[in-house]
């Protein structure tokens, strides 16, 4: 009953852009969340790849509480220690001392910043990829290669073209000296965890170098350890000119960043860009605490092991044709278009999942997911799949 009441209040108070949520949650701990009626769920979506160290991690709670007591928000008129330390940490992850960070609040804003930075070249054309997701603001939506999401909001930015993702010949056809920036996800997350072929990022980097084009890696979803490295592109051996981050960066609080990595990327001059809340001390303290948990717990290595284990086990299940992705960003491809029913059945089983496509289930849990929790997931997922399959037959 509490659930129904929460949904009724939601419908009377909020825009319907998400559709009425099927659950109202009250609290969480680690990889688990509880709904308002007291039911417990293993959360394999993790706030959409965001709560990298789970709910209510004591180190994050302590850092956020301390920062809140000390200095909450000051604006970017002033320097503060958490912002400095987090920027320095991110620079050290890029391996490029000359990298420079701009903080904002979300993934869309990080990509807007990259877009604006690219305008400081004397070119305007952007190459994005089909099915890409880069955010919902007008600039970021212009880069999002999904016409259903773009259609109601046209006209969008001019001079954005789309290459087939993973297809270097398609990129070759579009790239020229008129192009300012290529923007790419190392793995396309929102469109169903799509992994490009080996060598793709390297080949794109080479094309960008040939034509003097900036390469922006949108690591909003793949970043902060999710795929077993800090940004998700490192396996390819490339260095991007720009990296955009959000989601896991704030350890569960809103925080985004645009990092101009190489000297090829232009730099904003004073007054050219800004954000009131961007990089506020509390979000930065939360992000730093999350990074410390990831580093001290050797989670980058564990994420890979956990991901491999889940991949192996899930691939054995009847009805699963393929498990793709890296680390703890996995797309489970089903042999039928029943992903929505699997998500609904999983809810009954006490498991939170997401269906980015009719036949794909995505998981992006906390990076702190234990081996025991991974086993609980496999058991509950297998039961949910069986249940959805038998419903489809009924």
Ligand X SMILES: Cc1ncc(COP(=O)(O)O)c(C=O)c1O
Residues that bind ligand X (CB under 6 A): 106-108, 111, 133-135, 185, 189-190, 218, 220-221, 246
The minimum distance between CB 270 and ligand X, in angstroms, equals: 26
Report the C-alpha gap between 153 and 164 in whole angstroms: 23
Of residues 111 and 275, the one with the C-beta less far from ligand X: 111
- Burial group, residue 214, by CB count within 10 angstroms (0-12, 13-18, 19+): buried
Q: Which residues contact 169 (CB under 8 A, 6 or more apart)?
A: none
57 vs 31: CA distance, rounded Å: 10
Q: Measured from the CB atom, is 31 or 129 closer to ligand X?
A: 129
Token duo for residue 163 = 């290459």
CB of 137 to ligand X, least distance (A): 7
For residue 34, what are the β-bridge partners? 27, 40
Q: What distance in Å separates the CA atoms of residue 318 and residue 301, rounded to the nearest whole number?
A: 29
222-232 in b/e form (b: 16+ CB < 10 A) is bbbbbbbbbbb
**Active site residue: 93, 102, 162, 247, which one?**
247
Cα–Cα distance measured from residue 185 to residue 192, given in angstroms and rounded to the nearest whole number? 12
- The residue (of 6 and 143) whose beta carbon lies closer to ligand X is 143
Q: How far is the CB of 243 from ligand X (least distance, A)?
A: 12
Identified catalytic residue from 93, 133, 377, 381:
133
Whichever of 168 and 187 has its CB closer to ligand X, that residue is 187
Catalytic status, residue 218: yes
Least Cβ distance, residue 214 to ligand X (angstroms): 17
93: annotated active-site residue: no
Name the residue with the smallest CB distance to ligand X. 107
Comparing CB distances to ligand X, the nearer of 83 and 250 is 250
Is residue 77 flagged as an active site residue?
Answer: no
Shortest approach of ligand X to residue 245 CB, angstroms?
Answer: 9
How many angstroms separate the CA atoms of 300 and 156, rounded? Answer: 38
Catalytic residue among 35, 43, 218, 357: 218
- Strand, coil or helix: what is 259? strand
Residues known to be catalytic: 133, 218, 247
């Amino acid at each position: 009953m509490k659930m129904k009441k929460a949904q009724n209040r939601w419908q009377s108070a909020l825009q319907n852009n998400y559709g009425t949520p099927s659950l109202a949650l009250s609290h969480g701990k680690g990889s688990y969340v509880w709904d308002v009626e007291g039911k417990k769920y293993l959360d394999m979506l993790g706030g959409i790849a965001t709560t990298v160290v789970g709910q209510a991690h004591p180190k994050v709670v302590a850092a956020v509480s301390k920062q809140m007591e000390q200095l909450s928000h000051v604006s970017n008129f002033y320097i503060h220690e958490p912002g400095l330390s987090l920027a320095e940490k991110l620079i050290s992850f890029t391996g490029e001392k000359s990298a420079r960070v701009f903080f904002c609040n979300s993934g869309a804003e990080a990509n807007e910043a990259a877009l604006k930075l690219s305008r400081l070249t004397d070119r305007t054309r952007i190459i994005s990829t089909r099915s890409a997701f880069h955010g919902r603001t007008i600039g970021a939506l212009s880069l999002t290669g999904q016409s259903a999401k773009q259609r109601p909001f046209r006209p969008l930015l001019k001079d954005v073209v789309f290459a087939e993702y993973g297809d270097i010949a398609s990129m070759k056809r579009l790239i020229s000296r008129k192009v300012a920036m290529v923007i790419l996800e190392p793995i396309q997350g929102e469109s169903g965890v799509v992994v490009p072929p080996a060598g793709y990022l390297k080949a794109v980097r080479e094309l960008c170098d040939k034509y003097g084009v900036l390469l922006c890696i949108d690591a909003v979803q793949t970043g902060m350890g999710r795929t077993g490295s800090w940004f998700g592109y490192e396996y390819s051996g490339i260095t991007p000119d720009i990296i955009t981050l959000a989601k896991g960066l704030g350890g569960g609080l809103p925080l985004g960043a645009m990092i101009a990595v190489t000297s090829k990327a232009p730099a904003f001059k004073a007054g050219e860009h800004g954000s009131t809340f961007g990089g506020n001390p509390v979000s930065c303290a939360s992000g730093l605490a999350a990074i410390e948990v990831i580093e001290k717990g050797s989670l980058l290595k564990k994420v890979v092991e956990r991901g491999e284990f889940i991949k192996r086990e899930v691939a054995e299940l009847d009805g699963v044709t393929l498990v793709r992705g890296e680390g703890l960003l996995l797309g489970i491809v089903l042999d039928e278009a029943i992903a929505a029913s699997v998500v609904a059945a999983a809810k009954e089983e006490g498991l939170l999942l997401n269906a980015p496509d009719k036949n794909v289930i995505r998981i992006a849990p906390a990076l702190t997911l234990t081996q025991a929790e991974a086993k609980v997931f496999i058991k509950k997922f297998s039961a949910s799949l069986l249940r959805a399959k038998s419903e489809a037959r009924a």
